[in-house]
């Protein structure tokens, strides 16, 4: 019999389903929080903005932050964008604001070069001195509302802000070598970029600082001496929005070993907490406080999408039950394992995955180190072991892709969609196989179907090298089958071609690891989110606190 | 202007797929090109030329049987096979290898697998290859009979800093376009959703 201390990680067949991945929430291991912890722990220093934005709201500003060894600067450009040109879609050619994260402190020549390119975004070109490229548009109605109030000398109605949670939203944050930016492998040996997407998270954090300053600047220009700045409380309640579509969805499929690292870290954290034998009344109180905070967040979570409205309603109910369950958890051994097992029985996927995140909150001492293993050198696991026997490949398929073998891909519903890249937009898209042209140009994202085809093609004992010599068409999928032996969380265990597949589940999974909140699907294939809402600004970054969700009244 | 490594890999992968390679082979070709770039070898012109010539015919140069009996063989197919099958022997000889410079990344993998320093010779091209270096006289259009043998390093590595030149992008882009779907009324209406 296993000892109680050997709580295993949750099985990939349970975790790697789209419906569950589409219920993930931010946690201590989210990339925004990893960044903020580092900035706090290493006492990062923020320079006063180098502000060159005129009364017309046009100009640039530089926000420089100093870590222990290096400085980074957000170079922000503010533009005068006519309302009719404001679009979140990739077809847009102009934005309210554009940004790049510069590696160091830019000179005037650097600024001049960036001014020629950053406002153009994809049509421009940045260099290896830059780490990211981004842009953001105003939430037009709310921006004007807030500026008008501040200009008139009064604070805007908090309830009006709460429903949206941001006054500007990014429509892309490019990094990792895009458009000439520095490749990730050239900066990944820097401790501050060891965890995933840290340059992108730093960019968004500094964008939030800039946007709030631009808001006050606009109000002051409009209202003159009568204008007031946004109150610190409301300012902190404002995040940065993001509008994300299908372009992000294939990332999880295209980076299988990285996906495994993220999920494995999260599952390891859960297992560690479940293994805790006892929790003091004080710790149980902290856990309750976090659950109450998550409850408030759920109550503030607004969506217009029927599926998400139903999920949020269930989550709100789940959080009420969870708070009660924590109150009665008592001091019997293994409280958090008992709580988790109760959650598995009584909570929805939304509620259970929220519980997983909450369970980590009081236990930074045993969770936070997992941030160090969330990156991976993907190239080290790229190569195929050609000496392996194909019988072994077959057994791996049976062990890890049973769901694919059980799927009838001759069924129209099971192969209703196809992933492709649009020639016009150079972006991933999802087509309907029965009615749209181009399925012969399908991207290699049909993992289940291709695994099943590989399985059927294996008909004799031979090495992988000899099999692939004769069947190069199976190379991409065989590589993945070999990966999953070491990385069981590398694959989404659902059919990505199915008629009912929801791309927003893939988006939600990735964005939860970013640390996003308030997922608000606008269709089955795009959504809006909020980032860094309630996060401390630089002047408060060294203060402890649960910054992600609103604090409950009377919180310790 | 130079490309980033990730831009190079993405462009070559699309180009190779557009030229008719399987997705898995296209991934290999992109990785091989990146390895050459990382070792200071600008093989983009040779790759563009090779893919242009082989466009739509890549299956003809795939390995038809083993041992090789064909007159012309693709360096990427051959490279994958000799590295993945961890070919043994003090001297390996292969005839009819096209654009032999592209064998180098696979010989490097073989060197790593075997824990040996290797030497590749084809015509006037003579190169030392170890797990962490490629050094020698590179001739981009070298082809024909390739001899791989064990030899300690005699040449100095070519370049310490990687280079991802932007030359010949238009060839890759043209081939890469063949992997993409033109806009239709339906796709235009749906877009990315956002």
- Using a CB-CB cut-off of 8 Å, the residues of chain B touching A243 are 194
Contact B191 A476 (CB under 8 A): no
* Tokens describing residue A500: 């009912």
pLDDT of A393:
98
CA distance A464 to chain B (A): 8
For A436, name the nearest residue in chain B, comparing CA atoms only.
B186
**Which uninterrupted H or E stretch holds A217?**
helix A198-223
pLDDT of A1:
41
Check if the beta carbon of residue A73 is closer than 8 Å to that of residue A105: yes
Residue B184, domain member (yes or no): no
pLDDT of A2:
47
pLDDT of A85:
84
Residue range A105-109: mean pLDDT, rounded: 98
* Tokens describing residue B162: 């990687």
Q: Is A152 exposed, middle or buried (0-12, 13-18, 19+ CB in 10 A)?
A: middle
pLDDT of A549:
85
B 129-168 → A contacts, CB under 8 A? none
**Which uninterrupted H or E stretch holds A132?**
strand A130-138
**Which of A186, A432, A469 should one mutate to test binding to chain B, selecting the residue with the greatest count of B CBs within 10 A?**
A469
Q: Is A339 exposed, middle or buried (0-12, 13-18, 19+ CB in 10 A)?
A: buried
Residue B187, domain member (yes or no): no
Contact A91 B191 (CB under 8 A): yes
pLDDT digits (tens, 9 = 90+) for B42-83: 888 899 999 999 999 999 999 999 999 999 999 999 999 999
Give percent of chain A above pLDDT 90.
87
Check if the beta carbon of residue A215 is closer than 8 Å to that of residue A230: yes
Check if the beta carbon of residue A270 is closer than 8 Å to that of residue A357: no
Least Cα distance to A217 among A47, A78, A46 occurs for A78
* Tokens describing residue A499: 């008629």
pLDDT of B159:
66
Least confident interval from A57-66, A293-302, A437-446, B155-164: B155-164
Check if the beta carbon of residue B147 is closer than 8 Å to that of residue B120: yes
Query: Cα–Cα distance between A130 and A72 in angstroms, integer?
Result: 9
First-to-last alpha carbon distance for chain B, in angstroms, is 32
* Tokens describing residue A250: 């294939």
**Tokens 């081939």 belong to which residue?**
B175
Number of cross-chain residue pairs from A and B with Cβ atoms under 8 Å apart: 159
Least Cα distance to A83 among A137, A18, A156, A23 occurs for A137
Cβ atoms within 10 Å of B9's Cβ, excluding its own:
22
* Tokens describing residue A228: 């007031």
pLDDT digits (tens, 9 = 90+) for A188-247: 999 999 999 999 999 999 999 999 999 999 999 999 999 999 999 999 999 999 988 888
CA distance B156 to chain A (A): 24
Give the residues across from A245 on adjacent strands: none
Query: Cα–Cα distance between B142 and B144 in angstroms, integer?
Result: 7
Q: Average per-residue pLDDT in chain A?
A: 94
For B81, name the nearest residue in chain A, comparing CA atoms only.
A465
**Which of A427, A467, A472, A478 should one mutate to test binding to chain B, selecting the residue with the greatest count of B CBs within 10 A?**
A472
DSSP strands (E only) in chain B: 91-97, 118-122, 125-130, 133-137, 144-150
Query: Cα–Cα distance between A355 and A315 in angstroms, integer?
Result: 10
ipTM above 0.90? yes
**Which uninterrupted H or E stretch holds A486?**
helix A475-486
Cβ atoms within 10 Å of A186's Cβ, excluding its own:
17
A22 pLDDT above the threshold of 70: yes
pLDDT of B186:
67
Range among A518-532, A539-553, B156-170 with highest mean pLDDT value: A518-532
Query: Cα–Cα distance between A533 and A137 in angstroms, integer?
Result: 17
Residue B53, domain member (yes or no): yes
> What long-range pairs does A421-424 form, CB within 8 A, spacing at least 24?
A421/B179, A421/B180, A421/B181, A422/B180, A422/B181, A422/B183, A422/B187, A423/B177, A423/B180, A423/B181, A423/B182, A423/B183, A424/B182, A424/B183, A424/B188
Cβ atoms within 10 Å of B187's Cβ, excluding its own:
23
Residue B194, domain member (yes or no): no
pLDDT digits (tens, 9 = 90+) for A382-434: 999 999 999 999 999 999 999 999 999 999 999 999 999 999 888 899 999 99
Pairing type for strands A527-531 and B133-137 reads: unpaired
Residue range A241-268: mean pLDDT, rounded: 95
Check if the beta carbon of residue A316 is closer than 8 Å to that of residue A296: no
Domain total of chain B = 1
pLDDT of A453:
98
Three-state secondary structure of B13-56: HHHHHHCCCCHHHHHHHHHHHHHHHHCCCCCHHHHHHHHHHHCC
Q: Which stretches in chain B have pLDDT values below 50?
A: 194
pLDDT digits (tens, 9 = 90+) for A477-501: 999 999 999 999 999 999 999 999 9
Q: Which residues of A216-250 are buried (b: 16+ CB within 10 A; e: fewer)?
A: bbbbbbbbeeebbbbeeebebbbbbbbbbbbbbbb
pLDDT of A84:
82
* Tokens describing residue A446: 């049909």
Give the residues across from B136 on adjacent strands: B127
- Using a CB-CB cut-off of 8 Å, the residues of chain A touching B109 are 383
Residue B124, domain member (yes or no): yes
* Tokens describing residue A110: 């650097």
pLDDT digits (tens, 9 = 90+) for A326-366: 999 999 999 999 999 999 999 999 999 999 999 999 999 99
* Domain range enclosing B10: 5-158+165-179
Q: A475-486 and B23-38 are packed helices; what angle lies between their axes, rounded to 10 degrees?
A: 70
Residues in chain A, how many? 556
Least confident interval from A41-45, A198-202, A300-304, A437-441: A300-304
- Using a CB-CB cut-off of 8 Å, the residues of chain B touching A468 are 24, 80-81, 84
pLDDT of B191:
56
């Amino acid at each position: 019999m296993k000892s109680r201390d050997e709580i295993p990680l949750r099985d990939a067949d349970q975790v790697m389903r789209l419906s569950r991945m589409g219920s993930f929430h931010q946690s201590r291991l989210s990339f925004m929080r990893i960044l903020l912890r580092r900035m706090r722990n290493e006492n990062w220093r923020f320079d006063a903005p180098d502000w060159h934005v005129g009364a017309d709201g046009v100009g640039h500003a530089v926000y420089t932050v100093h870590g222990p060894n290096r400085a980074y600067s957000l170079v922000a450009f503010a533009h005068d964008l006519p309302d009719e040109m404001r679009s979140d879609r990739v077809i847009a050619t102009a934005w309210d604001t554009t940004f790049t994260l510069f590696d160091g402190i830019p000179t005037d020549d650097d600024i001049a070069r960036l001014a020629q390119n950053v406002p153009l975004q994809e049509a421009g070109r940045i260099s290896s001195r830059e780490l990211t490229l981004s842009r953001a548009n105003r939430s037009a109605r709310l921006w004007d509302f807030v500026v008008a109030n501040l200009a008139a000398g009064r604070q805007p109605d908090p309830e009006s802000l709460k429903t949206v949670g941001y006054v500007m939203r990014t429509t892309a944050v490019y990094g990792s070598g895009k458009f000439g930016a520095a490749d990730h492998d050239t900066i990944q040996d820097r401790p501050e970029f060891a965890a995933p997407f840290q340059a992108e998270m730093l960019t968004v954090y500094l964008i939030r600082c800039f946007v709030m300053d631009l808001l006050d600047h606009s109000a002051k220009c409009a209202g003159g001496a009568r204008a007031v700045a946004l109150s610190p409380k409301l300012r902190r309640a404002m995040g940065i929005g993001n509008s994300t579509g299908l372009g992000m969805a294939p990332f999880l499929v295209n980076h299988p070993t990285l996906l495994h690292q993220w999920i494995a870290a999260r599952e390891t954290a859960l297992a560690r907490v479940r293994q805790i034998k006892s929790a003091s009344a004080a710790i149980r109180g902290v856990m309750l406080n976090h659950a109450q905070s998550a409850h408030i967040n759920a109550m503030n979570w607004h969506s217009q999408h029927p599926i998400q409205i139903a999920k949020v309603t269930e989550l709100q109910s789940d959080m009420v039950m969870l708070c009660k369950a924590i109150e009665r958890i008592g001091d019997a051994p293994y409280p958090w394992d008992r709580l988790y097992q109760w959650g598995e029985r009584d909570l929805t996927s939304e509620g259970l995955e929220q519980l997983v995140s909450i369970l980590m909150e009081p236990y930074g001492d045993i969770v936070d180190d997992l941030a160090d293993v969330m990156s991976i050198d993907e190239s080290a696991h790229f190569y195929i072991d050609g000496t392996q026997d194909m019988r072994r490949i077959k057994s791996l398929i049976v062990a890890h892709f049973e769901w694919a073998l059980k799927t009838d891909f001759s069924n129209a519903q099971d192969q209703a969609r196809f992933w492709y890249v649009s020639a016009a937009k150079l972006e991933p898209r999802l087509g309907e196989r029965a009615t749209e042209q181009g399925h012969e140009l399908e991207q290699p994202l049909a993992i289940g179907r291709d695994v099943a085809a590989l399985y059927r093609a294996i008909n004799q004992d031979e090495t992988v090298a000899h099999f692939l010599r004769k069947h190069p068409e199976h190379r991409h999928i065989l590589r993945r089958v070999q990966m999953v032996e070491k990385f069981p969380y590398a694959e989404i265990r659902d059919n990505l071609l199915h008629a009912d597949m929801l791309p927003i589940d893939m988006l939600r999974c990735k964005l939860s690891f970013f640390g996003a909140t308030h997922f608000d699907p606008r269709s089955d294939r795009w959504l809006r989110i909020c980032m860094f809402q309630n996060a401390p600004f630089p002047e408060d970054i060294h203060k402890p606190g649960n910054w992600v969700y609103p604090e409950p009244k009377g919180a310790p | 202007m130079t490309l980033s490594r990730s831009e190079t890999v993405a462009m070559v992968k699309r180009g190779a797929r557009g030229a008719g390679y399987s997705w898995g082979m296209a991934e290999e070709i992109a990785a091989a090109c990146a390895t050459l770039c990382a070792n200071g070898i600008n093989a983009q012109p040779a790759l563009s030329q090779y893919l242009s010539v082989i466009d739509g015919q890549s299956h003809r140069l795939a390995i038809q049987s083993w041992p090789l009996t064909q007159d012309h063989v693709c360096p990427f197919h051959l490279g994958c096979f000799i590295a993945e099958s961890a070919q043994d022997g003090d001297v390996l000889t292969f005839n009819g290898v096209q654009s032999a410079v592209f064998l180098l990344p696979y010989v490097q993998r073989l060197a790593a697998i075997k824990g040996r320093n290797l030497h590749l010779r084809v015509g006037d091209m003579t190169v030392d290859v170890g797990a962490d270096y490629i050094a020698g006289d590179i001739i981009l259009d070298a082809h024909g009979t390739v001899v791989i043998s064990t030899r300690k390093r005699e040449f100095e590595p070519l370049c310490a800093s990687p280079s991802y030149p932007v030359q010949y992008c238009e060839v890759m882009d043209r081939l890469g376009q063949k992997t993409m779907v033109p806009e239709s009324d339906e796709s235009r209406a749906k877009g990315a959703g956002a």
